Amino acid sequence: MHIIPGQSLEHVRVIVQAFGATAGMPFLQLDDQGSAAVRLGSGVRLELEYAASSDRLFAYVEVLGALPQESAQWVAVARESVQLMSNYGFSLGLGEVAGSDLLLAMASLPAATLTEDILGETLLELAAVASAAADRLRDLPHDPETTDDTGTSADLQVIRV
């Protein structure tokens, strides 16, 4: 099937609906704006958003736990994000739901080549990345006394997914 860039909402809607049905979530469907959100049984929030301007489906999985409060923790998030981009094409970023900030693991998928299998595999990997990132952030030192002369924690270099 040939997909015209920017005109893929119906194609993506069919893929998301098929994935939702296969995954036991028949309620997972894109609305008229190309968005869907669901809170999974694990408590993790999953969001999908089709962007016509880039002809991509963006997938977001919540990183559970408290948002980083210290600059050293945000340095770790930035480093983790760079590593995720280079290894998986994923990133970490901030989102907002009902006025609350969330840390999200994010993926961007080209709509023209999206399949149910690609969506499913990406969401599984993204959920694993979000879980690993939550574990890493929870384990970061919270004591400002543990910083080196650059102002960052010496332990941050070992953070890997």
Domains of the chain with bracketed CATH: 9-158 (3.30.1460.10)
Residue 98 main-chain phi, psi, to 5 deg: 50, 45
pLDDT tens per residue across span 115-128: 999 999 999 989 88
- Among the residue ranges 32-41, 44-53, 71-80, 130-139, the one predicted with the least confidence is 71-80
Q: For the chain, how big is the Rg over CA atoms in Å? A: 17
Token match 């998986």: residue?
Answer: 88
Question: What pTM was computed for the model?
Answer: 0.76
pLDDT tens, residue by residue, 85-114: 767 678 887 888 778 888 888 999 999 899
